[in-house]
Amino acid sequence: MRKNSILLALCMLTICINVNAQTLTSLYPAKFYTQSEPTVSRLTINGKDMWPDVMTITMTIQLMKIHFKKNGRDEVIRGVGISKDRQVVEFVSTNWLSTPGPVEVYITTDAFSGYPEKRSNSLWLQVESTPAGAPVINDLSNHSFQTGLKRDQYYLRVYGKNFGEERSTYASIGGIATTAGWQHLVDGVMDIWVPTELINKPGTYPVVVHTKYGQSNPVDLKIEMPVAKPGQSNTVSNVKINSQVKPVTIKPAVQSISQVDLSTDAKNMVGVQLLKGIRVTMNGVVVDGPTKSALENFISSQANVFSVDNQLQVMETNGNININLKGSGVDKAEVDKVKTAIESKAASMKLSVAVSIQ
């Protein structure tokens, strides 16, 4: 009994709760290519006991340090996310990805309230020279799309190799630069959006990856009209139009256009007018590609929005974003709903947006 009492007293004096050092198990990605320009990169550190129960989030920020060590330089990189089994850090490539060679990664926790300082095991992040050859596309996740889909469905993954450096690499479709939703160039993967100008324009368009070392082989992407159902046809042939023909109303398969008016004038010219839809033009500056894509996708998902012309530029800091709504054949109340929805979404994304209506 006396022995147990002594042990209990010692535990109370030294706080007998064991705080294990983090056990690092893997890095994602485990490899980076060198970057000749300063580039913000993200690394996920997987492991055990990454967030001890006795530590609050404030304590992890103040006491827990993620170390990068290379060529004698040991620097603390602050995390941007933490859970029981992982920590996420963002870092600027300078000094770490400028030259090939491994970067040692480990975590230390400062002593606090009777808990001793702890140090994890080390893992090594491999940095290899960026391939200097022209990029190569091996395949696409989609080789065709139909017109008339929701804007967020025109999304595909490009597979290949030699995809170059983050800041100088981009893809184009039909000669138009695309927006990247996600990419991991070291593994030869890019997720891109089909440009708005092409999603309702049937044709065959080459997908090409561009880097500072050249451009890839083109791989065709088709934009096609929807396949006609039995008893229906997507084509009209042998139609004679003259000034005596009465206007005809057609309801096509495209969801966002309610009707098209085909009529003739005194010179037997056919006039085509899109009678329903909101055209959205976005101008300004956003801080990154995902933010740009998220805002465009949200606007595209709104009822009655027919097209979004996304001209936002990606820069290091946010600038003024101007969004113009032009409604054609749409009740003003519906346009106002879209305006209110955009303003609310922009506020939640911490963007400064001015929405106007033509």
CATH number for the domain that contains residue 155? 2.60.40.10
Q: Is residue 318 part of a domain?
A: no
Tell me, what's the pLDDT at 318?
A: 66
Which residue's entry shows tokens 């184009």?
Answer: 172
Give the residue from 171, 197, 227 where a domain finishes: 227
**187 shares a domain with 85:** no
**Beta strand 103-109 pairing with 79-82:** unpaired
Q: What is the pTM of this model?
A: 0.58
Q: What are the beta bridge partners of residue 157?
A: 191
Q: Does residue 246 sit within a domain?
A: no
Unique residue bearing structure tokens 């997987």: 46
pLDDT of residue 198: 94
Q: Are 169 and 121 part of one and the same domain?
A: no
Same domain flag for 221 and 175: yes
Distance CA 266, CA 242 (A): 9
How far apart, in whole angstroms, are the C-alpha atoms of residue 66 and residue 342? 38
Question: What amino acid occupies position 50?
Answer: M
Listed as ranges, residues in the chain with pLDDT below 70 are 1-19, 228-276, 315-319, 329
Residues 57 and 101 in one domain: yes
Question: Do 161 and 208 have their domain in common?
Answer: yes
Residue 354 lies in a domain: no
pLDDT at 337: 87
Q: What is the pLDDT, as a whole number, of residue 349?
A: 80
Check whether residue 119 and residue 164 sit in a common domain. Answer: no
Looking at the fold, whether 134 and 119 belong to one and the same domain comes out as no
Residue 118 counted as domain residue: yes
Could you tell me the two tokens for 136? 């190569």
Answer yes or no: do 43 and 100 share one domain.
Answer: yes
Number of structural domains in the chain: 2
Residues near 297 by beta carbon (within 8 Å), at least 6 away in sequence: 151, 152
Residue type at 129 in one-letter notation: S
Q: Tokens in use for 277?
A: 């839809």
How far is Cα 6 from Cα 11, in angstroms, rounded to an integer? 9
CB 282 within 8 Å of CB 299: yes
Select from 210, 227, 244 the last residue of a domain: 227
The tens digit of pLDDT for each residue in 264-273 reads: 445 444 443 3
- Domain end marker among 165, 196, 227: 227
Q: Does some domain include residue 149?
A: yes
Residue 302 lies in a domain: no
- pLDDT computed for residue 232 by the predictor: 55
On whether both 81 and 34 belong to a single domain, the answer is: yes
Between CA 79 and CA 85 the distance in angstroms is 14
Position 205 in a domain? yes
Q: Indicate whether 78 belongs to any domain.
A: yes
Do 135 and 222 have their domain in common? yes
Instruction: Tell me the one-letter amino acid at 153.
Output: Q
Q: Quote the Cα angle for 323-353-294, to 5°.
A: 80
Based on the domain organization, do 30 and 123 belong to the same domain? yes
Q: In angstroms, rounded to a whole number, what is the distance separating the alpha carbons of residues 124 and 49?
A: 19
| pLDDT tens readout for residues 50-98 | 998 888 988 888 999 999 999 999 999 988 889 999 999 999 999 999 9
CA dist., res. 167 & res. 37, Å (int): 7
Note whether 85 and 136 are same-domain residues: no
Domain hosting residue 137, numbered range: 130-227
Residues written for the chain: 358
Distance in angstroms (rounded) separating the CA atoms of residues 257 and 74: 59
| Interatomic CA distance for residues 318 and 352, integer angstroms | 8
